[in-house]
Structure 1
Amino acid sequence: MPLFWRIFLLNAVVLITATALLLGPVTVSTPVLLTEAAVLTVGLAAMLVANALLLRVGLAPLQRLTRAMNTTDLLRPGQRPAVTGRGEVAELISTYNTMLDRLEDERATSSARALSAQEAERRRIAQELHDEVGQSLTAVLLQLKRVADHAPPELREELSPAQEITRSSLDEVRRIARRLRPGVLDELGLIPALKALATEFGGPGLTVQHRFGPDLPDLGPEAELVIYRVAQEGLTNTARHAGARRAGIALRRVPTGVELRVHDDGRGLGDVAEGAGIRGMRERALLVGADLTVGPADGGGTEVRLAVPVPVRGPAPVRVPALALAVPDRKH
């Protein structure tokens, strides 16, 4: 039954009941007596309460749908309001759930394309920094050394700061190139890349420890890149905003796949809203169907957990070697 007719019939039942009472035991005289006015007031209040309760019951699924619409976040997929009610209300909730499925699929596809283009651009910029700017600074550094070797002592002292600035600039360019596209991830794999990341962020003010499980499964290049980027962003937030003295990276195997854990002993998140860095981590997690949680760590600080599922692969097919059959020559 359509929603209009359900509400109409509910109100009609209340009005018919009130009319039947007026035609039956309840009467009104002229002028209205005090007792009759009290009875009418109580009856009107009862009608209003009954009408409000009936409307509340009939419109409750729509209110739940409104709350779901206000709290839905496409970066946290899978949240769906339960299909309750009947007729048009149930159809509306089902249509909304179907729309969420389509929006999540479209967002995942567009995010994958955008992040793929971003990684390609990072790779190009890192390559240009390494090949063009890095080689130019290396040539300048060698030229300064050659000039300093043949210069008088007083001029050699003036060239020394220029050499140090050039050497520091070369190290900074190389560091930026490594952060844009870590070559160790492509060449050596995920674990050496995470160890290099911990060494890069570690220093006098921040100690970064790492712990990796011995039986990690094969994740594939996309999942490894997502894990590396999430760890990189987590340590970047720790170094910039947490004010922490200790941080850690842990990667271990779980029944559903692998779990990355980045934690620190800093000041924590507090009431600060999620920024672009955390939302970027959530978008990357969606690319591989991972679940990302960011919250307080045990004992204070912040903890980032990334649960990456590993698809179950069936046994490899048994390959039967081909047999070379010797065919005897036939003499005609």
Structure 2
Amino acid sequence: MGMPLYWRVCLINGLVLVAATVALAVLPVTVSARVLVSEAIVLLLGLAGIVVLNSLLLRTSLAPLDRLIRLMEQVDLQRPGQRLPEDGSGTVAKLVKSFNAMLTRLEIERGTSNAKALAAQEAERHRIAQELHDEIGQSLTAVLLGLKRLADRAPEELLDEITLVQETTRAGLDEVREVARRLRPGVLEDLGLHNALAALATEFSARGMHVRRVFSPGLPPVAPETELVIYRVAQEALTNVARHSGADLVELSLRRQGSHLVLGIEDNGRGLRGAEEGTGIRGMRERALLIGGELQVDDRPGRGTAVRLFVAAEGLS
């Protein structure tokens, strides 16, 4: 077991004082009753040497603590794997090892809790979408049927008003169905990832920006939870582009790159312009961690933003 930090500091200072005492005893140096300028210079040089030597020894011993403090200030659990080298022994080395072990536990616990939270979120989205479709959607459909029967018997002067109410109700029904579809991507379950991403591109193209699709052929199938994460990341990224970037052209791609499956969303908008990552990007990072993936967000001044999701080979089935 290494020497405790307290005793190490005491030993360093003791060695410095012993060296200074030996130097005074051995060197032919004397101090007059009235200190001369030359003697004062020697004393000051000796004091400076003691301070410098003591500082260097303490800095060497406490350097791991400085590295640990910097990592504590910069650590981000959304970017796992940040660790300090576990060199040496003693109190500082034990502290570094304990900190690394704590980071490992936190990453595991955070991943588990995030998986449960996102699973609960998807289940709640599914429930709300089902209620919107089954209850509100059916109620609005019944209203439309009632309005049609009313229009068949209504006097001529009321037909325009009834028609207006019908159109408003039909628009509301379409909005309810659209919200339900965004909450629960049924096309993903029914037709697969490629068709779901294609439908997503078509939906956002209808909002006024051109979404170009680039899907590599022969991509391997992935697990359902990986498909859902890829779809949600694409959905969130395209939503951010539509809301904040001012882009009129977006490329949505899905490619195989070495041992990774890569989802890309690149726009020609104004970029992040130094803004901090918002909840949308952090949410995408959380989802990427659930499948062992990595999210990269590149701000390209004058050329928009590029979002890429890398799913490692072990995430492929």
Structure 1 length-normalised TM: 0.90
Structure 2 counterparts to residues 264-279 of structure 1, below 5 A: 264-279=267-282
Write the deviation string for residues 287-309 of structure 1: whole angstroms up to 9, x where unpaired: 11001111224861111110112
Larger radius of gyration: 1
1:239 aligns with 2:242: yes
Moved more, 30-39 or 221-230: 30-39
Which of 9, 20, 23 aligns to 1:21? It is 23
Structure 2 counterparts to residues 130-141 of structure 1, below 5 A: 130-141=133-144
The 1:313/1:170 distance shift into structure 2, 3 A limit, reads closer
* 3-state SS of paired residue (1:302): strand
Give the equivalent residue in structure 2 for 1:185.
188
Residues 61, 84 of structure 1: 8 Å contact kept: no
The 1:70/1:313 distance shift into structure 2, 3 A limit, reads closer
Give the equivalent residue in structure 2 for 1:10.
12
Residues 258, 309 of structure 1: 8 Å contact kept: yes
Give the equivalent residue in structure 2 for 1:58.
61
The 1:301/1:312 distance shift into structure 2, 3 A limit, reads closer
Residues 222, 316 of structure 2: 8 Å contact kept: no
Structure 2 counterparts to residues 142-181 of structure 1, below 5 A: 142-181=145-184
State the 1:85 CA deviation. Answer: 4.0
Residues 221, 316 of structure 2: 8 Å contact kept: no
Which of 296, 299, 308 aligns to 2:311? It is 308
Residues 270, 303 of structure 2: 8 Å contact kept: yes
Write the deviation string for residues 161-182 of structure 1: whole angstroms up to 9, x where unpaired: 2112111111110110011011
Moved more, 154-163 or 258-267: 154-163
Aligned length: 314
* 3-state SS of paired residue (1:311): helix
Give the equivalent residue in structure 2 for 1:263.
266
Write the deviation string for residues 50-98 of structure 1: whole angstroms up to 9, x where unpaired: 1111111111111001111111111111111112343221111111111
**Structure 1 Cα separation of the partners of residues 155 and 249 of structure 2:** 48
Residues 270, 302 of structure 2: 8 Å contact kept: no
Structure 2: runs of 5 or more not aligned: none
1:120 aligns with 2:123: yes
State the 1:226 CA deviation. Answer: 0.3
Identity of aligned residues (%): 59
Which of 194, 203, 210 aligns to 2:206? It is 203
Give the equivalent residue in structure 2 for 1:217.
220
Structure 2 counterparts to residues 93-132 of structure 1, below 5 A: 93-132=96-135
| Residue type of the alignment partner of 1:75 | Q
The 1:312/1:176 distance shift into structure 2, 3 A limit, reads closer
Give the equivalent residue in structure 2 for 1:71.
74
**Structure 1 Cα separation of the partners of residues 155 and 316 of structure 2:** 70
Moved more, 19-28 or 279-288: 19-28
State the 1:241 CA deviation. Answer: 0.9
Give the equivalent residue in structure 1 for 2:34.
31
The 1:298/1:307 distance shift into structure 2, 3 A limit, reads farther
**Structure 1 Cα separation of the partners of residues 181 and 148 of structure 2:** 26
**Structure 2 Cα separation of the partners of residues 206 and 149 of structure 1:** 41
Structure 2 length-normalised TM: 0.95
Residues 264, 297 of structure 1: 8 Å contact kept: no
Structure 1: runs of 5 or more not aligned: 315-332
